[in-house]
Amino acid sequence: MNNPCKILEGGIEYSLGSYDGRQMIYEFPKMLLYLEAKGKLLFGKDFKIYKRDHQLLHKLCNYYIRDHRNCKRYELDLEKGLLLSGPVGCGKTSILKLLRYLVPHYRGYEVIPCRNIVFGFNHIGYKTIEDYGNSGFICFDDIGVEPTGRFFGKDCNVIGEIMLSRYDLFLEYKVRTHVTTILNAEELEERYGQRVRSRMRKMFNLVAFDNNSIDKRK
């Protein structure tokens, strides 16, 4: 039987913990080693995981491997998605792209920039809202700073409308949604309105980088 704790990347085998034939026991230091190695493959040799981010990563890793005990300690609801916030360049998008690889047999999610979704709306209209609002496990990247949609002269808060549809999807089919943002709760409410913000509270676990996190792109 294959050992699900072992992942092969770039010809190197990484162990994420141990497997007794029935259950996997993950080890956080090993997960960090794997995530950094995978990050270098995806984003370039300069990618690194910073010690100051270890606590946040521990929280996110336990959410993704569905460790019920630690998620209860962190007050993370496994039925909800993630709203990962933090300043520009802190690594939000990279981390959510990386987490998908921790458990290869889990259903993955697409990471899609919100600005691209709005550009799509501007070209093809309301089908874009239907496509992103009614299906799929999606991470909406950089929510809240995308431009206003405009189709045939009519403005539309595209991502706000999609979030309303995703809320219905969450209630009826338990489909989770992830988002990243540089905005705080008040700014999100200002951008999308109280109705959307109220639904987002029910859809997401709020996880935040420190506001003083450095810009890792520099």
Looking at residue 212, what is its pLDDT? 83
Looking at residue 91, what is its pLDDT? 95
Question: Which has more pLDDT, 19 or 86?
Answer: 86
Does the pLDDT of residue 130 top 90, yes or no? yes
Q: Which residues contact 179 (CB under 8 A, 6 or more apart)?
A: 81, 82, 83, 84, 139, 140, 141, 143, 204
Q: What is the pLDDT of residues 71-93, one digit of tens each?
A: 999 999 999 999 999 999 999 99
Q: What is the pLDDT of residues 37-54, one digit of tens each?
A: 999 999 999 999 999 999
Of 177, 107, 162, 175, the residue nearest 132 (C-alpha): 162
Q: What is the pLDDT of residues 105-127, one digit of tens each?
A: 888 899 999 999 999 999 999 99
Does pTM surpass 0.75? yes
| 163 membership: H or E segment, kind and range | helix 158-173
- Spell out the domain ranges in the chain: 77-208
Of 117, 107, 116, 112, the residue nearest 93 (C-alpha): 112
77-208 belongs to CATH 3.40.50.300 = yes
Q: Name the token pair of 153.
A: 């002269």
Whole-number Å distance between alpha carbons of 23 and 142: 36
Of 212, 211, 209, the residue nearest 57 (C-alpha): 209
Does the pLDDT of residue 59 top 70, yes or no? yes
Amino acid at position 24, single letter: M
* Average pLDDT of the residues in 156-183: 97
Looking at residue 1, what is its pLDDT? 44
Looking at residue 117, what is its pLDDT? 98
Does the pLDDT of residue 218 top 80, yes or no? no
**Cα separations in angstroms, 77 against 81, 82, 203, 204, 206:** 8, 9, 10, 8, 10
47 phi, psi to nearest 5 deg: -65, 140
* Average pLDDT of the residues in 182-210: 96
**3-state class of 214 per DSSP?**
coil
* Average pLDDT of the residues in 128-153: 96
